[in-house]
Amino acid sequence: MQDKKFDTQAVHFSTHRESEVASKVQPIYQTTAYSFKDLEDIEGYYSGNKPFLYSRLDNPNNDDLATGVARLEGAPSGAATSSGLSAILCAVLAAAQQGDHIVACDDLYGGTYHLFGSELKSFGIDVTFVSFADQKSIQEAIRPNTKILYSESITNPLLRVEDISGLVEMARKNNVISMIDNTFATPYLIRPYVQGVNVVIHSATKYIAGHSDVTAGIVAGDQDIVQRAKEKMANLGCNLGPFDAWLAGRGLKTLSVRMERQVKNAAALAQFMKSQQAIKKVYYPESASAKGNGAIVTVELDEKADIEAFFRHLSWVKLVATLAGVETSVSYPLGTSHRNMPDELIKQHGITKHVVRISVGIEEIEDIQDAFSAALNHSM
């Protein structure tokens, strides 16, 4: 390139060839497309001999992330998408189409509830929400056109642990696809695919990435459905950017060590909360998995507690509309994640104006307890 003119040299400044650079970690493939030697080489992509063509379809960073999570889930195939919600959409559209029906649990994350109850209508897909705590109501809701049974392994925000084997059995008996959002549990605690679920979904924005700096989603599961979900992702433009995939992949490496610490802290905090005068109820699962019960603790403050004062006095614990970072944080389901759920469901599930969801981080447990103790004292 040295013999070329100024502008050409500027554009073609890079001298390192990828094949010559043995970087220790996977580089970020911040590229929209891949180059080919000739037309025959391009044909190689379509015949399956070349992995990458265009980053909306696939990218090495996305591929690594998707495969990495799928392996941890014990699933043969994975796809990485732009968010947890787009992962849910692509997975659902891979298994259901116009005229089909889904049976979903009625204590879903609010965003999923909205996607199912409102947006899927424009795709001609109907959803019935029922309590999955009751197998009979699931069976009664299944119709001849039902294609999917959908639930969360640990529900948001009240932490009901799904009976996954029961769900798998019900799905198999009725010849429908089972899907589980495993965001709260992660494969560190629960592996729904290994238990027979067809498709596992993640908001990788949460524990998979773990540092609250990336929005991403994962669909992992049966090869054919994941392949169709990947096609939906590409055709609807729900792909993840390479840098975000790289960030999520970097987080994935420490999933176990983060979860181990966060789960231990959460168990201790749940116990501590039970002894607090300002706390009416503590939601924390009892037997979610052999490795513990998750890193989210949901509490209901006493009716007499001033919830505003509680949030205002949390010192370093931030009030946010997310969870699962290494920092302890709190969120307010009624005002954020479950804001658009119908009032009767909100009431039925007990998501009152005193319910607070705590995402427990990796800090020292004594500091976490002190922060909540101070805020609770200010609330009474």
Ligand X SMILES: Cc1ncc(COP(=O)(O)O)c(C=O)c1O
Positions in the binding site for ligand X (CB under 6 A) = 83-85, 109, 111-112, 152, 156, 181, 183-184, 203, 205, 215, 217, 337
Told to judge if 181 belongs to the known catalytic residues of this protein, a careful annotator would answer yes
For CA atoms 85, 157, 161, 126, give the dihedral sign: negative
Closest CB to ligand X among residues 152, 162: 152
CA distance 212 to 324: 7
CB of 283 to ligand X, least distance (A): 15
Closest CB to ligand X among residues 61, 182: 182
CA distance 270 to 369: 10
Instruction: Report residue 379 CA to chain centroid gap.
Output: 32
Among candidate residues 206, 232, 261, 357, the one labeled active-site is 206
CA distance 117 to 148: 14
Told to judge if 206 belongs to the known catalytic residues of this protein, a careful annotator would answer yes
Among candidate residues 181, 207, 230, 332, the one labeled active-site is 181
Tell me the two tokens of residue 367.
């500091």
CB of 320 to ligand X, least distance (A): 11
CB of 156 to ligand X, least distance (A): 4
With CB atoms as reference, the residue minimizing the distance to ligand X is 84
CB of 377 to ligand X, least distance (A): 30
Closest CB to ligand X among residues 193, 272: 193
CB of 205 to ligand X, least distance (A): 4
CA distance 357 to 350: 13
Closest CB to ligand X among residues 67, 337: 337
Among candidate residues 56, 264, 291, 318, the one labeled active-site is 56
Closest CB to ligand X among residues 64, 181: 181
Among candidate residues 109, 150, 188, 284, the one labeled active-site is 109
Told to judge if 109 belongs to the known catalytic residues of this protein, a careful annotator would answer yes
Task: Tell me the catalytic residues.
Answer: 56, 109, 181, 206
